[in-house]
Structure 1
Amino acid sequence: MAFEHYSRSAASICQCLECRGKGLIYGMKDVEKHPGIIRADGVVIIEPWIEVERVGELCQKCNGKGVLSNRCRCKGRGLILDEEETALRGVPVHKICPRCSGRGYSRVPSSVAYTAIKALVPELTQSSWSRNWKPFYEKLVEKCYTEEKRAEAAFNEVTK
């Protein structure tokens, strides 16, 4: 979980949980097989023929792709157009995206890690998570970042 948090980027994608990666959500629906025949004066000659069938509908969350992007509304750039400043100055003015704080993607909330750990340790309480486990989880993520910096420094030293 900590490595997933560390390795997350604006380019990474994940499987849609609504459709489980299929792009379609199946359900039983009434399907009109024949509309029936009705005369101009409103007399029904043949009744409409309706059957209940299993129908696949396009997943609304992923729009049928089966995967979700981690990108923010800023499209992974970390910058958005400041409309107020642009209107005042007359030239495009960009600012750091307030939703993702300039990262380009939203971070994994700690509640996701809490849910995953609670599945393994059912007696874990919210207060125990906040006091003991969450700081440990955040230190694991921070350790991944520091090790990445050390590896990059070692790589730069070797390739000079």
Structure 2
Amino acid sequence: MNLENTLRYHFAKSTLISDSPRATASDSLTGTDIMAAMGMTQERAAMGYSAFLGKMGISKNDREKAIALLAEYALTKCDKVAALRKLGDEVKPMVMQQLATFAFEDYSRSAASVKQCDCCAGQGFIEADVFSMKSHYTMRLPQWAKDLKQSPSDFEVKRQVREVARVLCSTCKGKKVVSCACNDCRGRGKAVDQKATQRQGVPVLTDCKRCSGRGYERIPSTEAHAAVCQITSAISLDTWKKSVKPFYDQLITKFDIEEAWAEAQLKKITR
């Protein structure tokens, strides 16, 4: 059993909680076996199992637990980076918590993920300049104009008025969120290589250059730096790029390593 197989037991469609019906496999796992296997995996690989459940949206508690465990891990390793080692004892845990939070968001992102629309800041509406035509009369229509049957529009003055109105956001169409899928490959991870296609005469697919074949856009590391700057100003952008960003990338990779370890433990338990 792998980690993806455990998802159906969190959203069971029937009362039969097993890998396969007993009528076809007498050695199938019972519900008790599966629950025990999940508990043992959680005990042996707490960070990886919690990170996976949090990534799949099973539980917010698992998400918070994974972030907390990564923040604790980061505190044990951050002194290897000079810029982080110089931080105060009160500031350092908050910085690690912020880095762990952004690391989890990057780790859990996929082509199906959504993010807050930057254009409307998650409001669904934006303020825009709207121009309308208004008119007024310079004076009352005189009697001689009435006798000559002149149109009132001859005395009408038109002007364009600028007003600020709330209009539907054109980026998210009022949904307040936008897709994280790559704009070039639309989340597929593959794009047509125009040069190779022209040379061979048939469509040739290669990894999308914009997303490197992932199918989605990663969270810019500068956003994590901006969040850290709200806690402390001791880490400049140059320092972030030279020393702190590699440490931040290691935290993201840590989740992938721990998830692989959790899956290996689950397979070992259920084999």
Q: Give the aligned partner of residue 46 of structure 1.
A: 156
Q: Which amino acid aligns with 1:129?
A: W
Separation in structure 2 between the aligned mates of residue 32 and residue 17 of structure 1, nearest angstrom:
32
Name the one with the larger helix percent: 2
- State how 1:4-19 maps to structure 2 within 5 Å: 4-19=105-120
2:165 to 46, 49, 55: 55
Contact between 2:135 and 2:156, CA under 8 Å: does it hold in 1? no
1:20 to 91, 107, 121: 121
Deviations 1:109-141 (A, max 9, x none): 221111111111123223332344223211211
Aligned CA distance change for structure 1 residues 93 and 127 (closer, same or farther; 3 Å): closer
Tell me, what secondary structure is at the counterpart of 1:120?
A: coil
- State how 1:72-87 maps to structure 2 within 5 Å: 72=182, 73-87=184-198
Flag as ranges the 4+ runs of structure 1 deviating above 4 A.
33-36, 49-53
Report deviation, 1:59.
2.5
Aligned length: 155
Q: Which amino acid aligns with 2:264?
A: A
Name the one with the larger strand percent: 1
Separation in structure 1 between the aligned mates of residue 192 and residue 244 of structure 2, nearest angstrom:
39
2:257 to 142, 146, 150: 146
Percent identity between matched residues is 40
Separation in structure 2 between the aligned mates of residue 58 and residue 126 of structure 1, nearest angstrom:
36
Deviations 1:5-58 (A, max 9, x none): 11111110011122122322124544335699xxxx9x6333337665441233
- State how 1:57-72 maps to structure 2 within 5 Å: 57-72=167-182
Q: Which amino acid aligns with 1:22?
A: Q
Higher relative contact order (CA 8 A, sep 6+): 2
Tell me, what secondary structure is at the counterpart of 2:213?
A: coil
Separation in structure 1 between the aligned mates of residue 187 and residue 136 of structure 2, nearest angstrom:
48
Separation in structure 2 between the aligned mates of residue 34 and residue 22 of structure 1, nearest angstrom:
34
Aligned CA distance change for structure 1 residues 101 and 33 (closer, same or farther; 3 Å): same
Separation in structure 1 between the aligned mates of residue 266 and residue 235 of structure 2, nearest angstrom:
41
Contact between 2:181 and 2:217, CA under 8 Å: does it hold in 1? yes
What TM-score, normalized by structure 1, do the two folds share?
A: 0.80
Q: Give the aligned partner of residue 3 of structure 1.
A: 104
2:240 to 107, 115, 129: 129
Separation in structure 1 between the aligned mates of residue 270 and residue 165 of structure 2, nearest angstrom:
58
Tell me, what secondary structure is at the counterpart of 1:47?
A: strand
Separation in structure 2 between the aligned mates of residue 26 and residue 123 of structure 1, nearest angstrom:
36
Separation in structure 2 between the aligned mates of residue 158 and residue 47 of structure 1, nearest angstrom:
85
**Root mean square deviation, CA, Å:** 2.7
